[in-house]
Amino acid sequence: MPTKTYQFPENFLWGGATAANQIEGGFHEGNKGLNIADVLPGGKGRLNILKEPGFNFEVNTEKYTYPNHEAIDFYHRYKEDIALFAEMGFKVFRMSIAWTRIFPNGDETVPNEEGLAFYDRVLDELHKHNIEPVVTISHYEMPVNLVKNYGGWRSREVVTFFERYAKTILERYQNKVKYWMTFNEINSGLIMPIMGLGFSIQKEEDKYTPTFQAFHHQFVASSLAVKACHEIIPDAQIGCMILYAPVYPYDANPENVMHALEEERLFNYYCADVQVRGEYPAFMTRYFKEHNIELDIKEGDLELMKEHTVDYIGFSYYMSRTEKMQKAGEEQADGNIMSGVRNPFLKASDWGWEIDPTGLRIALNQLYDRYRVPLFVVENGLGAKDVVEEDGSIHDDYRIEYLRDHIVAMGEAIEDGVDLMGYTAWGCIDLVSASTGEMSKRYGFIYVDKEDGGSGTLERSKKKSFFWYQNVINTNGKEL
């Protein structure tokens, strides 16, 4: 239990976070097209597919299972789920819109009305319960047609398709959504181009130019979405979304300190600098040169990026990362797609993700010192195995402890002077894991009866953490 109480801002945005492909299911209902998550198999092997070259984006049901096809069936059960979020007192709910529900192939000129109508119903249901939606425009959900026939974000044409999609939803939901984000964890494309950039590299050594060209297209697309949002919904705020993990040097050896700094700049700051400051950071000039990267930057791109920067930084925080120049012989730490060496001061989750609440305070201070724009923790949580007792109860004290410690860290950061808008706990309802496709890696306050193999009734039940978080929100973080 914390020894002091924390003062969160009066309108602090407490809530939970999800992504369409990890909750909705109904993967071919309502004229939805196939997206990247639909072709990713379930199981721990998924992580290798995501990181290794040569994935073909085909469904092979003889060999694999596809957990995102049904997910947790939010597509049909959203009313029940939103009522549970409301019972916890959510002020906001972070969700994403599936691009393929609106433009099934991505390159159509006319949107799919059935898809638009579905999100109208979801957004109306949220408002009925006084929950403000926070919408990610693209959360690892690119149409497979754009991947196969255009090469994903490598193609400049995709910028036009994305702009059309973004404008369509900004216009349609202009009275219903006031918080937006462009690309989920945009920097994750550095490690997992499949989800983030919409293509699989063919060979490791050929990755540099396609990767950074794809990023450039996303930056242009993001600026176009920011511009459109400000024009269409002047009272809305639109943010970027980055995966942020502070990088610690393994020790005081200056070589390791410099190495950690380089890792931190590329992974944590390269994308955020462009989206928040509106320009490529100075350190990328050397990086581009050393890796023979020549970007095709069209006339007007840099001005557009400079003019249309984001209003806030949304970020996910699960862990810190510890880096050492020479890793040979060191024990590696698992992690949210990137891994460093084991930090001897930290414990790890069942999935090897190191648990570091102070790292969140550090992250908040680093980001605020650097950018001076409001911050929003839009993902944080503990993926763990839960046990259902005979009476149906679930005593997830480990999750409560994890969340409490991270909320304390936010309270401290607010005292440090950080402008923090809100907190949406990841996977507020159990959902399909992005990196492994597992159901057993549970994050939720709400349990969903579904196993890794796909069996289960899909019934929802409240974990102990449900009541704990309800009280946290009710007391605006005073009782943790």
Residues forming the site for ligand BG6 (CB under 6 A): 19, 184-185, 243, 316, 336, 379, 383, 426, 433-436, 441
Separation CA 480–CA 474 (nearest Å): 11
Task: Report whether 410 contacts 360 (CB < 8 A).
Answer: yes
Cβ distance to ligand BG6 smaller for residue 185 or 311: 185
Annotated active-site residue 379? The verdict is yes
Min dist. Cβ of residue 301 to ligand BG6 (A): 27
Chain position carrying tokens 């990023």: 215
Q: Give the residue with the Cβ less far from ligand BG6, 250 or 376.
A: 376
* Shortest spacing between CB 21 and ligand BG6, in angstroms: 8
112 Cα distance to chain centroid: 25
CB of 381 to ligand BG6, least distance (A): 7
**118, amino acid identity:** F
Q: Which of 125, 323, 379, 412 is catalytic?
A: 379
Quote the least distance from Cβ 446 to ligand BG6, whole Å: 16
Secondary structure (3-state) at 26: coil
Residue nearest to ligand BG6 (CB): 435
Token pair recorded at residue 402: 């994890």
Q: How far is the CB of 403 from ligand BG6 (least distance, A)?
A: 14
Query: Closer to ligand BG6 at the Cβ: 49 or 284?
Result: 49
N-terminal to C-terminal alpha carbon distance within the chain: 7
Tell me whether residue 233 or residue 238 sits nearer to ligand BG6 (CB atom).
238
Is the Cβ of residue 146 or residue 243 nearer to ligand BG6 in the bound state? 243
Closer Cβ to ligand BG6, 243 or 276, answer by number: 243
Q: What burial letters (b/e) apply to 310-319, b meaning 16+ CB within 10 Å? A: bbbbbbbbbb
Nearest to 36 by CA among 145, 134, 117, 189: 145
Instruction: Give the shortest CB-47-to-ligand BG6 separation in angstroms.
Output: 8
Which residues touch 420 (CB under 8 Å, ≥6 apart)? 9, 12, 364, 374, 375, 376, 377, 410, 413, 414
Tell which residue, 17, 90, 80, has the closest CA to residue 443. Answer: 17
The set of residues, in sequence order, having a beta carbon less than 8 Å from that of 50 and lying 6+ positions away, is 40, 192, 194, 195, 337, 435
Positions marked active-site? 379
